[in-house]
Each structure stands twice: as C-alpha cells, then as structure tokens.
Amino acid sequence: MKTRKLMLGNEAIAQGLAENGCRVATSYPGTPASEILPALADLKNETGVPAHVQWAVNEKVAFEIAYAASITGLRSAVSMKQVGLNVASDPLMSAAYMGTRGGFVIISADDPGPHSSQTEQDSRLMAMMAKIPVLDPDSPAQAKDMTALAYDISETFQIPVMLRPTTRVCHSRQDIQAGPVPLADAKADFKKDPTRWAATPKFRYQLHKQLETKLNDIAEFEKTAPVRLNPEVVSSKAVVTSGVCAAYVREVMQDSGLMEKISLYQVLQPYPLHLRFMEELVQHHEDVLVIEETDPVIEMQLADRHRVKGKLNGVVPGVGELLPERILEIIGGFAGVEVPSVRLPDVPGRRPTLCAGCPHRASFFAIKRAVPKGIYTGDIGCYTLGLNLGAVDTVLCMGAAISQAAGFYHAYKDQPDPPDVVATIGDSTFFHAGIPALVDAVVQNVRFVLVILDNSTTAMTGNQPTPASGIGACGESLTTVDIDAVVRGCGVRFCREADPYQLDALTGLLKEAVSYARENGPAVIISKHPCLIHRRGAARDVVSVPVAVTDACDGCGYCIRHFECPALVLKGDSGRVTIDPMACSQCGVCIHVCPKHALIEQKNN
C-alpha cells in the first residue's frame, strides 16, 4: 500500500536528496531554508544511510565542504537562504567554472515578501551570474522531484545546479509519496587534475569556454524543457510562469475558466531558458504574459520584447510577493475578462517581539541604561528585535554589527566628544561573520563595546547548534569552541561574562566596559543566558521569580514602552499593569525595570 506523508517543502527536498543518494550535505540555518538539513539528519538517523550531514559555521564554508565532496565523485548538497548565498557567492562563481563530478545541488531558498529577510533578491539571477542552471519548483512535491532532476543535470553536464524554492514552497506542507533511500556505500575517489581543480587564470579561460558550451547544451536538455499545461488550447495569448506562481496561475485559470482559453506554459528551468521554447513562443503567440517571482529572469531572456508583458513594463509588480488574488487580476486584465478584484484589508498585525523572559531583552535594557546616548549597531538574529526597544540602530547583514561599529568609530573619532558605540551580536552570528570583523577592530584599535548575546543556540531559525554547543546536526557529540577564548585570541584584552538576568550587575559591567573602551580599545561582554524556547521541556536550572504588581503601580506604562515584555499588559482603563500568567516566564527581570518599584517578587508561592 502506498503511504503518503505530510511533508513540509523543506522536508520534501531532504527526502529528494536522500532518495537520490546525497552523501554529504551542509548548511547554515536561515529562514526559509532552515528545515532542510534537520530533515536530512532525521532521515540519516532513521535509515542509517552513510551520509555526512552538518551545520557549518557559515554558508561559504558549507558550500566549500559540499563542493569538495562533489569533486571526489560523491553526490552532495548545500542549503541556505538567499542572503546566505551572498556569503557563498565567492566559491559559487569559481565552482561553476571548474564544474563537478558527483552531482552537486545548491539549494538557495528565496523569500519574496519578504517574510523574514533583509532582501527580496532573486537567487535565479545569482545562478545566471554564475552561469549555472537553476530549477524553480512550484510545490513541495515538485521540489522533491527536482532534486532528482538537479542531480541528473549536474552529472550529465558536470556543473553545479541550483534548486530555488521560495518561502511558499519551503513552508507549505503537502501529502507526498516517500520513496526508498538507497543505503549503498559510495566511494570517494578524487582524481588529481591541477589544470582543473587548481586552475590558474590561463586555464580558467578554457574553463569559461567549456562552461558556455555546457550552457548551450543545457538550454536544449529535453528533461528540463518548459511544459505546456494545456496543449489542446490554441490561442494568440500565452501565459508563461514558474515557481509557486505556476501553482497560483493554474488554480486561478482553472477557477475562472481561462484554462480553456489561453495557452499556459510552465518553465522548470528559468536559466538557461530553452532556445526552442523562445522560438515557439514567438511563432505561436502574439501576446505573452510572464508571471514569476521576484525579478524578471525569464522575461529578460525573451528577445522579442514588444510581445511580452510582465515586470519590465509594469503589468506585473516588480516588488513584493505575487499572491494568487493579484495574479487573478493580472491574468484577467491580460485576457480581457472581468474577474473579481479582491484584496485583504490592510490591517496591521502584531509586530514580532522578543519572547517573554528572553535574556536579550534584559541585555538591551541594560545597554540602554548604561549607555543612554550611544550608537547601537545590531545584527541578524532574534535580537534584531532589540530595535523595538530602541537598542538597535543599524542592521545590515551577518557580522556587520562589529564592522559598522568600527565605521562609526572612525567616522567620529576626530570630533570632540565622539559617541560611545555598542555593538550587539548573537553567538551563532559571531562565529559566522563576527570573528574577522573583531580581528579588524582589534588591529585598528576601535574604541567600542561589543556585547555578544550568547543564548547558546541559533534561536531565530529553530535552535540549531553553534560551534560552542558540542553537538552535531544528527545529535552526535562534537568538539566545542569557546567564545571567550576566541575573543581573547583575537587580541581583545577586556572580555567579561555576565548573566543578563542579573540586570544591575550587567549594567555596572557595561559602564566599566565603556570607560575601558574609551581609553584602551575594544571591550567585549559575553551576556550569557540560555534561550527560553531551547530550554523548554528540559529540566529548568533557573530559579522562578514570580512577580506581583503592587498598589504603587500608577499605570505609567514605562515598563511596556521601555521593556516591552509581552507578559506585561496595560489594559484600557484598569489603571494598572497586569501580568499575563500564560505568557510570563517568571524571569523576574521586570522587578528591576519599574521606576516606581511597583513590581515585586511574589512571596509564599
């Protein structure tokens, strides 16, 4: 009997990798890609498949590990989010030239919308720049099928292949048929060939020529040719689509009866676009509408532009997610038929906030208290939400808290009375991209304070381990790297640890660090307290401090504005703050926040 399993898009991709014999898989977590590697780790643990599955310190390192496995002849994969691909772009460009031996799949998950990213960038453009083929799945099921296709292309043409799912593919669930996972050992067999694997510029020119030849051949590869979804329809109009938009288009064209009236093509491989397809479009159709997320990658490759409607002439929006209701309007306009125009009202929802009891909130509060007039450079992670508390002034990309702090210092240093600069970065992000920036700050004697918000996990993306965790993707024991030792090894002479729940002590230490930094150079505080979500369910090693609100509370709202704990609620006209017992983690930090001393520890409980 066939059993269908409910799978997240990312789990379907992992299933596809496992079914197709992936033997080395690496990743750095990032939404919407984070669940691919853990799903593969689960499959490894369940089936005993001899694969190496690991979280790497960043995407560049992850890429290079998986790529090396590929050139030994093994099938491998690296997964990341679109901004992570920027970090891995250096090896990506070169790997495209040198090519692969065992199939190598680069999964770069895009986030149109953007739901939880700094950019809406389209990884398909990165594939185009690197000159590698890219596949654009419309659903979890197709994402799984496309991993097989990706390995096929990669090995047929000896080229890295990108699989580019988007948020709605990664984070939708579908019933999917799981197939068997082959357990046979694959043998690594690296054949030395310095003209290829260590090519000097002279050979790189040859490799570039080979790459162009490969691309021409891939543009004729039958298995990735665009699919005509309603071949019986003869129409002067055609819709061309790919990715999750193809799923939306199918559904809205079926529901509105346009499936019988307008030709519909789904592009599986947006780059390189099939040459014969481009000719066919021009031969058979007067008007072509291209619907794709996020950038006009397919559209730009269609040469006969005057027939084409899409993002370049504003028919399709060039920014933001293309939701099915919007697509229905666009296709209705293209077809010249009335369709209902429906939009959700633009009601702002609740903004994200740090969890009740999150140690980062306490750290930010202490920073604001100790250095009220500082410039606060921030970074990527849960603690980006410190901006709600006014304790994060900049967020650029991974690791930039430290380099931007240096930039602010250099910009202000010749002015009288330069501002104090306090940078915050999470433990995982510090390992990812903070260390080189800290080395630079030490060398340049940047006078700033760095607070490493160490919650002992990568919380935002689902609590993946860090190099300090001592645990691997499959639960295996690993060696740990000590943050304090790294900081000292970078040459920082002031490095102290504090528990952010001890708010007064941390505030004092921050003041000390600021005075040190003003005179001497970088000062680092490791503000260490485990993530609440990570700890949930495990034995709690902290003392619960239940809090009571006394009559001294006059409802001034200071705690809500400056501490923003979701467990503190000021209801309409009750005049007093109340504590939501459903949300409160009993961390007790708010006791030190109230200027009226109205929050006290509740005794006899």
Partner 1 sequence: MNTLKQQIIISGVGGQGVLFVTRVMAEAAIAKGLPVFTSETHGMAQRGGTVVSHLKIGTFASPMIRPYQADGMISLKAENIAIHGSYVKPGGWVVVNSEHDVETDLDVTICRIDADGLAQSSGQARSANLIVLGFALARISRQAADAGHRFFCDVEDIRSVLEAQLSRKKPMLDASVRAIETGYNQGINKEGVCDGLYTV
Q: Are 196 and 204 in contact (CB under 8 A)?
A: no
Q: List the one residue from 172, 269, 294, 404 that touches partner 1 (CB under 8 A).
A: 172
Q: List the one residue from 107, 150, 354, 450 that touches partner 1 (CB under 8 A).
A: 354
Residue 328 or 483: the one with the smaller Cβ distance to partner 1 is 328
Q: List the one residue from 51, 78, 382, 579 that touches partner 1 (CB under 8 A).
A: 382
Q: List the one residue from 192, 202, 306, 350 that touches partner 1 (CB under 8 A).
A: 350
- Cα distances (Å, whole numbers) of residue 239 to 236, 281, 290, 299: 10, 10, 6, 11
Name 562's Cβ contacts closer than 8 Å, sequence gap at least 6: 365, 368, 389, 390, 593
Q: Which two tokens stand for residue 576?
A: 């007093």
Residue 244 or 503: the one with the smaller Cβ distance to partner 1 is 244
Options 61-69, 82-90, 171-179, 276-284: segment touching partner 1 (CB under 8 A): 171-179
Q: Are 530 and 362 in contact (CB under 8 A)?
A: no
Options 156-164, 394-402, 409-417, 578-586: segment touching partner 1 (CB under 8 A): 578-586
Options 324-332, 521-529, 540-548, 549-557: segment touching partner 1 (CB under 8 A): 324-332
Please tell me the distance from the alpha carbon of residue 464 to that of residue 31, in angstroms, as a whole number: 12
Q: Does 320 bind partner 1 (CB under 8 A)?
A: no
Q: Does 5 bind partner 1 (CB under 8 A)?
A: yes
Please tell me the distance from the alpha carbon of residue 525 to that of residue 459, in angstroms, as a whole number: 20
CB of 349 to partner 1, least distance (A): 3
Please tell me the distance from the alpha carbon of residue 485 to that of residue 25, in angstroms, as a whole number: 29
Q: List the one residue from 180, 349, 372, 416 that touches partner 1 (CB under 8 A).
A: 349
CB of 513 to partner 1, least distance (A): 28
Q: Does 342 bind partner 1 (CB under 8 A)?
A: yes
Q: Are 72 and 44 in contact (CB under 8 A)?
A: no
Q: List the one residue from 83, 355, 371, 398 that touches partner 1 (CB under 8 A).
A: 355
Element (H, E) at 216: helix 201-218
Options 97-105, 235-243, 390-398, 581-589: segment touching partner 1 (CB under 8 A): 581-589
Q: Are 565 and 590 in contact (CB under 8 A)?
A: yes
Q: Does 385 bind partner 1 (CB under 8 A)?
A: yes
Options 199-207, 321-329, 390-398, 480-488: segment touching partner 1 (CB under 8 A): 321-329
Nearest to 56 by CA among 35, 27, 18, 84: 27
CB of 283 to partner 1, least distance (A): 28
Please tell me the distance from the alpha carbon of residue 329 to that of residue 494, in angstroms, as a whole number: 60
Q: Any bridge partners for residue 5, and if so which?
A: 176
Binding flags for partner 1, 239-268, as an x/- string (CB under 8 A)? -----x--xx-xxx-x--------------
Name 363's Cβ contacts closer than 8 Å, sequence gap at least 6: 383, 424, 451, 453, 500, 506, 527
CB of 291 to partner 1, least distance (A): 13
CB of 13 to partner 1, least distance (A): 15
Q: Are 264 and 249 in contact (CB under 8 A)?
A: yes
Options 47-55, 126-134, 340-348, 498-506: segment touching partner 1 (CB under 8 A): 340-348
Residue with tokens 């250096």: 90
Please tell me the distance from the alpha carbon of residue 548 to that of residue 124, in angstroms, as a whole number: 54
CB of 530 to partner 1, least distance (A): 17
Residue 174 or 263: the one with the smaller Cβ distance to partner 1 is 174
Residue with tokens 């307008």: 262
Q: Does 173 bind partner 1 (CB under 8 A)?
A: yes
Options 58-66, 320-328, 389-397, 594-602: segment touching partner 1 (CB under 8 A): 320-328
- Cα distances (Å, whole numbers) of residue 503 to 94, 111, 364, 369: 49, 37, 10, 10
Residue 251 or 512: the one with the smaller Cβ distance to partner 1 is 251
Q: In what order do the strands lie in the sheet with 308-309?
A: 227-228, 263-266, 237-241, 287-291, 308-309
Site residues for partner 1, window 19-38 (CB under 8 A)?
31-32, 34
Residue 175 or 193: the one with the smaller Cβ distance to partner 1 is 175
CA atoms within 13 A on the CB side of 54: 21
Residue 234 or 342: the one with the smaller Cβ distance to partner 1 is 342
Q: List the one residue from 152, 315, 324, 546 that touches partner 1 (CB under 8 A).
A: 324
Nearest to 427 by CA among 564, 525, 565, 538: 525
Alpha helices of 397-472 — where are they, by DSSP H? 400-412, 427-429, 435-443
- Rule CB under 8 A: which residues touch partner 1? 4-6, 8, 31-32, 34, 115-116, 138-139, 168, 171-175, 244, 247-248, 250-252, 254, 323-325, 328, 342-345, 347, 349-355, 382, 384-385, 460-461, 566, 581-583
